[in-house]
Amino acid sequence: MKNKVNQMKIEKDMTVKQLAKAMSDSGVMGAGRIGKAVEVFEKILEEKQKNKKTGKEDCKLFFGLAGAMVPGGMKEIIHDMLISGTIDVFVTTGANLTHDLIEGLGYNHFKGNADVDDAELNKKGIDRIYDSFMPNNVYEGLEGFFEKIFDELPKEMNIRELLWEIGKRAPKNTILHICYEKQIPIFCPAISDSGIGLMIWGNLEKGKKLKVDVFDDLKEISRLAWDAKKPAVLYVGGGVPKNYIQQAMQFSPNAAAFGIQITTDRVEPGGSSGAELREGISWGKLNKNALFADVRCDATIALPLIWASVKK
């Protein structure tokens, strides 16, 4: 017992960075974990700065993002993390790519309410995502977009290539376009499980052709993991994105050297989404000497707080 819990002091008009510092100095419970996450993130950014000097890509940040992040107001933060060069490899769900594309096409999500009559919403053509509402007519916009670009797409690809090809043709302020533009490898193993998947299926039903291989880009993420001497992982919301990065870590020579996780899922049921980062050490997914922080918090609270603390 050497380090005391420094009771947090709040100052008028303090910055988020100062708040995170106070949380780190306190060092316990949820606040301590936020503070630790900021420390780990700073360290990752430092390591990435070294990359620039050495010209080697020793530290790469793999970002796995699940959950209703775009309906939940996190879109600009994700764009910012991608545009700023913070993220080197991006893995996400089809849902986030779809909702982001929808906003890129000019639609919006709206402040709603969870205590509503869902049958009423259905009549009005409103889709509910907890307390975020989306007009059902976004699907027309999506259809129009895919009808327009479908014939231009190469006829045979892997999923990562498909995402870049769509991104090339997508509105500028979308995750897909940003990843294409900045050549950030983007993975979405369950892409068929999304609005984008449905749009592609719709075109296939019309007799058009497109073959997208489900295993082919495994070699790409594996190589990215293999080449990084000090890989860093950031998991928000568990799901396939977390697990897909975890398995890349497991079968590469270097397990993750840095880790941050944000989730509200429980540890006790044993699933990957709620599993502690620490568990990854047994599998060789996380280095036993890794610096890591396991934040159990709503991501729409924790992610902005952490990002506002480390943003340069």
Q: How far apart are CA 118 and CA 126, in angstroms?
A: 9
**Smaller CB separation from its own copies, 50 or 209:** 209
Please, are residues 283 and 277 in contact by the beta-carbon 8 Å criterion? no
CA distances 22 to 11, 33, 291, 305, Å, are 10, 12, 19, 13
**Smaller CB separation from its own copies, 12 or 172:** 12
In whole angstroms, the minimum distance from the beta carbon of 132 to its own copies comes to: 4
**Smaller CB separation from its own copies, 6 or 182:** 6
In whole angstroms, the minimum distance from the beta carbon of 55 to its own copies comes to: 27
Q: How far apart are CA 47 and CA 62, in angstroms?
A: 14
Of 48, 60, 75, 285, the catalytic one is 285
Please, are residues 296 and 274 in contact by the beta-carbon 8 Å criterion? no
In whole angstroms, the minimum distance from the beta carbon of 64 to its own copies comes to: 11
Q: Is 285 a catalytic residue?
A: yes
Cβ density class 130-167: b for 16+ within 10 Å, e for less:
eebbbbeebbebbeebbeebbeebeeebbbbbbbbbbb
**Smaller CB separation from its own copies, 56 or 113:** 113
**Smaller CB separation from its own copies, 35 or 167:** 35
- Cα diameter, the chain: 69
In whole angstroms, the minimum distance from the beta carbon of 301 to its own copies comes to: 5
Q: Which among 108, 5, 40, 84 has a CA at the least distance from the CA of 294?
A: 40
CB atoms within 10 A of CB 266: 12
| E strand spans, 205-251 | 211-213, 232-236
Q: How far is CA 148 from the centre of its chain?
A: 28
In whole angstroms, the minimum distance from the beta carbon of 43 to its own copies comes to: 18
Dig out the tokens for 24 from the structure: 């780190």
Q: Which residues are catalytic?
A: 285
